């Protein structure tokens, strides 16, 4: 049995699901993979729980329960060292062949990630931001045997694994396309039924499908990051400026409060409604699509044939030398914290199996 020390940054939706799945899946992971993940640190923005021998399952489940109320550490929680210090502390405690997991949603984790790699740790990330910074800073994370990031794209669907397989078997990638946001897919499906755009946003928000501020979904940056990650994996050193992103709200709405935005987003109902009607007249529906080649790409609303595979709620397609006539397509459910956390665990197991 391999005992693998793990440090988890982020204890929100994905982080909590990950902790729960690690504990509940212990017997399966031990029987099938002969691995035990010892959680030596679980960290949120304000606190850290630390035990170099591994937190007990009772402590881990108590963390998950406390996070529902917003607090990670109880009174026994140590004061919060910096993120980099937490990794350094693990290395100084003699913990080897460990894994650092980034399931935060923040920018600026690079110093932590770089410290982990320098100390010989593997990295598993659901957080896209380090992969989508400038190519000069992000390059080292791509095609790095100590880095896994299946859950950055596709929410647990084997999108990255498939692309890696295509690249490993020398199948050049010509283009990548997809509908990469479950939230925007839901909103587009509501538009299909004739609902106004503002009502579709309000329903998505009420169902918890959007970020607390829906502009984070509607701005398209998250989709841009996902397709950029795939393009960079394919060998294209693209920058954000190479991808033209259509935001679904006007620039002057960026400074409004969330409530003000929700009250005024009906301003674009007529305009979007007209585009929906034009598409329907041609037997098409609107989808929020990302398309990329080595030269750059676009992210935005596009009319696609009704009932075609492209009208599926969520998919990624790879057009390659071998898949020249019929693109290789991955589609299906791929969203939510449980599937994302499962993708992270899959990466952790893969890292141990291949590198440790």
Ligand X SMILES: NC(=O)c1ccc[n+]([C@@H]2O[C@H](COP(=O)([O-])OP(=O)(O)OC[C@H]3O[C@@H](n4cnc5c(N)ncnc54)[C@H](OP(=O)(O)O)[C@@H]3O)[C@@H](O)[C@H]2O)c1
Catalytic residue ranges: 226
Footprint on residues 251-290 left by ligand X (CB under 6 A): none
Nearer to ligand X, 15 or 196 (CB): 15
Among 286, 337, 345, 352, binds ligand X (CB under 6 A): 337
C-alpha distance from residue 201 to each of 41, 204, 205, 256, 265 (Å)? 37, 5, 6, 16, 9
> DSSP labels for 19-38?
HHHHHHTHHHHHHHH-EEEE
Nearer to ligand X, 181 or 320 (CB): 181
Among 23, 39, 40, 43, binds ligand X (CB under 6 A): 43
Query: What is d(CA 220, CA 246) in angstroms, rounded to the nearest whole number?
Result: 7
C-alpha distance from residue 33 to each of 51, 55, 254, 260 (Å)? 24, 21, 48, 51
Judged by CB under 6 A, does residue 217 bind ligand X? no
Judged by CB under 6 A, does residue 83 bind ligand X? yes
Comparing every residue's Cβ against ligand X, the nearest one is 12
Footprint on residues 156-215 left by ligand X (CB under 6 A): none
Nearer to ligand X, 48 or 243 (CB): 48
- Rounded to a whole number of angstroms, the minimum distance from the CB of residue 90 to ligand X is 14
Token reading at 71: 């607090």
- Rounded to a whole number of angstroms, the minimum distance from the CB of residue 10 to ligand X is 3
Among 4, 7, 9, 124, binds ligand X (CB under 6 A): 9
Query: What is d(CA 209, CA 203) in angstroms, rounded to the nearest whole number?
Result: 9
Query: What is d(CA 82, CA 94) in angstroms, rounded to the nearest whole number?
Result: 19
Token reading at 105: 């949603």
Query: What is d(CA 299, CA 244) in angstroms, rounded to the nearest whole number?
Result: 6
Among 10, 133, 196, 214, binds ligand X (CB under 6 A): 10
Footprint on residues 307-336 left by ligand X (CB under 6 A): 335-336
- Rounded to a whole number of angstroms, the minimum distance from the CB of residue 340 to ligand X is 4
Q: Which residues contact 244 (CB under 8 A, 6 or more apart)?
A: 296, 297, 298, 299, 300
Query: What is d(CA 122, CA 116) in angstroms, rounded to the nearest whole number?
Result: 7
Among 15, 133, 214, 297, binds ligand X (CB under 6 A): 15
Footprint on residues 95-154 left by ligand X (CB under 6 A): 103-106, 126-128, 151
Query: What is d(CA 334, CA 313) in angstroms, rounded to the nearest whole number?
Result: 10
- Rounded to a whole number of angstroms, the minimum distance from the CB of residue 131 to ligand X is 11
Among 155, 214, 231, 297, binds ligand X (CB under 6 A): 155
Judged by CB under 6 A, does residue 11 bind ligand X? yes
Neighbours of 29 (CB within 10 A): 20
Q: Which stretch binds ligand X (CB under 6 A): 42-50, 252-260, 276-284, 325-333?
A: 42-50
Query: What is d(CA 154, CA 226) in angstroms, rounded to the nearest whole number?
Result: 8
Q: Which stretch binds ligand X (CB under 6 A): 12-20, 131-139, 159-167, 282-290?
A: 12-20
Q: Which residues bind ligand X (CB under 6 A)?
A: 9-15, 43-46, 83, 103-106, 126-128, 151, 155, 335-337, 340
């Amino acid at each position: 049995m391999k005992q693998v020390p793990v440090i988890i940054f982020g204890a929100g939706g994905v982080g909590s699901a990950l902790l729960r799945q690690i504990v509940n899946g212990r017997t399966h992971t031990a029987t099938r993979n002969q691995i035990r993940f010892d959680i030596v640190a679980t960290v949120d923005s304000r606190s850290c729980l630390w035990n170099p021998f591994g937190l007990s399952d009772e402590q881990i489940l108590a963390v998950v329960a406390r996070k529902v109320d917003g607090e990670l550490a109880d009174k026994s929680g140590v004061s919060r060292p910096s993120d980099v210090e937490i990794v350094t502390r693990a290395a100084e405690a003699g913990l080897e062949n460990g894994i650092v997991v980034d399931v935060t949603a923040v920018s600026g984790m690079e110093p932590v990630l770089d410290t982990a790699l320098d100390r010989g740790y593997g990295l598993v990330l659901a957080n896209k931001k380090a992969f989508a910074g400038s190519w000069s800073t992000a390059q080292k994370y791509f095609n790095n045997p100590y880095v896994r990031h299946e859950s950055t794209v596709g929410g647990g669907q084997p999108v990255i694994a498939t692309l890696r397989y295509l690249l490993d078997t020398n199948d050049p990638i010509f283009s990548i396309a997809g509908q990469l946001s479950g939230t925007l897919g839901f909103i587009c499906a509501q538009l299909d039924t004739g609902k106004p755009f503002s009502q579709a946003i309000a329903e998505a928000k009420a169902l918890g499908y959007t970020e607390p501020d829906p502009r984070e979904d509607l701005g398209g940056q998250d989709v841009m990051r996902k397709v950029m990650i795939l393009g960079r994996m394919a060998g294209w050193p693209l920058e954000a400026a190479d991808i033209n992103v259509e935001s679904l709200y006007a620039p002057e709405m960026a400074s409004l409060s969330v409530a003000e935005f929700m009250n005024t987003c009906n301003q674009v109902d007529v305009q979007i409604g007209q585009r929906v009607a034009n598409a329907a007249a041609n037997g098409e529906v609107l989808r929020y699509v990302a398309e990329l080649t080595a030269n750059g790409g676009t992210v935005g609303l596009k009319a696609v044939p009704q009932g075609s595979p492209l009208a599926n709620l969520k998919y990624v397609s790879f057009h390659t030398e071998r898949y020249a006539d019929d693109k290789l397509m991955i589609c299906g459910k791929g969203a939510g914290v449980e599937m994302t956390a499962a993708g992270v665990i899959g990466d952790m197991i893969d890292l141990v199996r291949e590198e440790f």
